[in-house]
Amino acid sequence: MAGDNGFTLWFTGLSGSGKTTITNQLVKELRKREIPLEVLDGDIVRENLSKGLGFSKEDRDTNIRRIAFVANLLSRHGVPVITAAISPYREIRDEAREMMDGRFIEAYVKASIETCEERDVKGLYAKARAGEIKEFTGVSDPYEPPEDPELVIDTESQTPEESAQQILTYLAQRGLIPAG
Amino acid sequence: MAGDNGFTLWFTGLSGSGKTTITNQLVKELRKREIPLEVLDGDIVRENLSKGLGFSKEDRDTNIRRIAFVANLLSRHGVPVITAAISPYREIRDEAREMMDGRFIEAYVKASIETCEERDVKGLYAKARAGEIKEFTGVSDPYEPPEDPELVIDTESQTPEESAQQILTYLAQRGLIPAG
pLDDT of residue B123: 93
Predicted confidence (pLDDT) at residue B1 exceeds the cutoff of 50: no
Contact between chains at B74 and A77 (C-beta distance less than 8 A): yes
Is the CB of residue B35 less than 8 Å from the CB of residue B4?
A: no
One-letter identity of residue B119: R
pLDDT of residue B3: 56
d(CA B25, nearest CA chain A) in Å = 21
Average pLDDT, chain B: 94
- State the pTM of this model: 0.93
DSSP annotation of A106: E
Just list the catalytic residues of A.
87
Chain A hits for B3, CB-CB cut-off 8 Å, are: 1
How far is Cα B143 from Cα A41, in angstroms, rounded to an integer? Answer: 35
Predicted confidence (pLDDT) at residue A110 exceeds the cutoff of 50: yes
Predicted confidence (pLDDT) at residue A1 exceeds the cutoff of 50: no
Is residue B87 annotated as part of the catalytic site, yes or no?
A: yes
Contact between chains at A1 and B78 (C-beta distance less than 8 A): yes
- Summarize pLDDT for B89-145 with one digit per residue, the tens: 999 999 999 999 899 999 999 999 999 999 998 999 999 999 999 999 999 999 999
3-state class (DSSP) for residue A151: strand
Average pLDDT, chain A: 94
Q: What pLDDT band is residue A126 in, cutting at 50, 70 and 90?
A: very high
Read off the pLDDT of each residue in A30-37 and give the average, rounded to a whole number.
94
User: What is the interface size between A and B, counted as CB pairs within 8 Å?
Assistant: 56
Biggest CA pair distance of chain A: 48
Q: What is the ipTM of this complex?
A: 0.90
Chain A hits for B69, CB-CB cut-off 8 Å, are: 48-49
Angle, CA A10 vertex, CA A172 and CA A39 arms, to 5° = 85
- Summarize pLDDT for A19-29 with one digit per residue, the tens: 999 999 999 99
pLDDT of residue A43: 83
Predicted confidence (pLDDT) at residue B41 exceeds the cutoff of 90: no
pLDDT of residue A73: 96
Predicted confidence (pLDDT) at residue B58 exceeds the cutoff of 70: yes
Say how many residues make up chain B. 180
How far is Cα A164 from Cα A30, in angstroms, rounded to an integer? Answer: 10
Query: Which listed residue (B15, B50, B75, B87) is catalytic?
Result: B87
How far is Cα A76 from Cα A103, in angstroms, rounded to an integer? Answer: 8
One-letter identity of residue A115: T
Predicted confidence (pLDDT) at residue A2 exceeds the cutoff of 70: no
